[in-house]
Structure 1
Amino acid sequence: MNTPHVVVIMGVAGTGKTTIGPLLAARLDVPYAEGDDFHPPANIGKMTAGTPLTDDDRRPWLDAIGAWAQGRAGHGGVVSCSALKRAYRDRLRAAAPGVVFVHLTGDRALVEDRMSHRQGHFMPTALLDSQFATLQPLEPDESGVAVDVAGSPEEITERAVTALETLPGPTP
Structure 2
Amino acid sequence: ALVHDVTHIPFGHTFEDERRLLERHDRSPARYQMLVGDSELGKRLQGSKAGRLALEVLRPGAELAPERRYVAEVVSGTICADLLDYLKRDNYFCGLSHEFDERLFHYFRVEDGRLALDLHRGGLLRRDALSEITNLLRIRYVLSERVYYHHAKIAAGVMVSKAVERALHAGLT
Higher helix share: 2
Radius of gyration: which is bigger?
A: 2
Q: Same fold (TM over 0.5)?
A: no
Structure with higher RCO (Cα < 8 A, 6+ apart): 1
